[in-house]
Structure 1
Amino acid sequence: MATFKLEIITPQKVIYSNDVDMLITRTTEGDMGILANHAPLVTELAIGEMKIKIGKDEEKYFVSSGFLEVSKEKVLILADKAMKADEIDIEKAKKEKEVLEAKLKKLNEDRDIAATEHSLKEALTKIKIGETL
């Protein structure tokens, strides 16, 4: 199977840089699979799980928002947040979830509600991904 270069970058650091067989990630349009020689593309990422396949091995990641760019040279993911599934602290994510749910009940401005709902969705997704390991 042909491979392609994948880079995952957050504002803090390069999370991943390697040749891969396949990438499956969540976009704002739905889940998307990328193979070598994919047509050029730029799309927005949604909060969700990303799977990287190399041979028979599969690595799972949490990704929160950002952009995916497919070019001839590589696939680039610029994510607000990204982490390998086995690095997720499930207990911390559950505590975040509880705090955010309580905060959400007290908010009354649309902007604050949207930001808190986004953070809550991140915590719930981390829990779901982390518990699948």
Structure 2
Amino acid sequence: MPSFNVSVVTQVKKILEQEAGYLRLRTSEGDIGILPNHAPFVAELSMGKMEIESPNKDKRDIYFLSGGFLEISNNQATIIADEIFPIEEIDIESEQTLVENLKKELEKVSTEEEKKKLQKNLKISLAKIDAKNN
């Protein structure tokens, strides 16, 4: 079965490296599916779900990706991720509580810098909830 290599790194370390038959993730332009022998490609990644399917389609790993970059070349997909973790680590109730708290904090915020930070955290929590539910 045709395959390609997927590697994911953060600023700190290599998170994973595995063979895949299919990779699906969200770019700034929308969702994209990658198959073996994909043309060279570079994209900015958005927050959302990343799915890696094994070459023989018997295993699918699902992660939450908070953004980064993707480069595809010579059957190698390299993802430089801001943050990544298995989707099952997302606790919906905790994220919903965090969303409520962040919305309350946004009402009280006094500086533009604080507001931007809270809005970013709110966007991440909402994306986690969406990724887990869909």
TM-score normalized by structure 2? 0.85
Report the number of matched residues: 132
Between stretches 34-43 and 99-108, larger displacement belongs to 99-108
Match of 2:106 among 104, 107, 116: 104
Moved over 6 A (4+): none
Aligned letter for 1:74? Q
Report the structure, 1 or 2, having the larger strand content. 1
2:69 matched residue in structure 1: 67
**Contact 2:38/2:75, CA 8 A, preserved across alignment:** no
RMSD value, Cα: 1.9
Aligned letter for 1:86? E
Q: What's the CA shift for 1:129? A: 2.8
1:37 matched residue in structure 2: 37
Query: Counterparts of 2:110 and 2:38 in 1: how far apart (Å)?
Result: 44
In structure 2, relative to structure 1, the CA distance for the partners of 1:131 and 1:76 (3 Å cut) is: same
In structure 2, relative to structure 1, the CA distance for the partners of 1:58 and 1:37 (3 Å cut) is: same
TM-score normalized by structure 1? 0.85
Query: Counterparts of 2:133 and 2:2 in 1: how far apart (Å)?
Result: 31
Match of 2:83 among 81, 84, 105: 81
2:66 is paired with a residue of what secondary structure? strand
2:6 matched residue in structure 1: 6
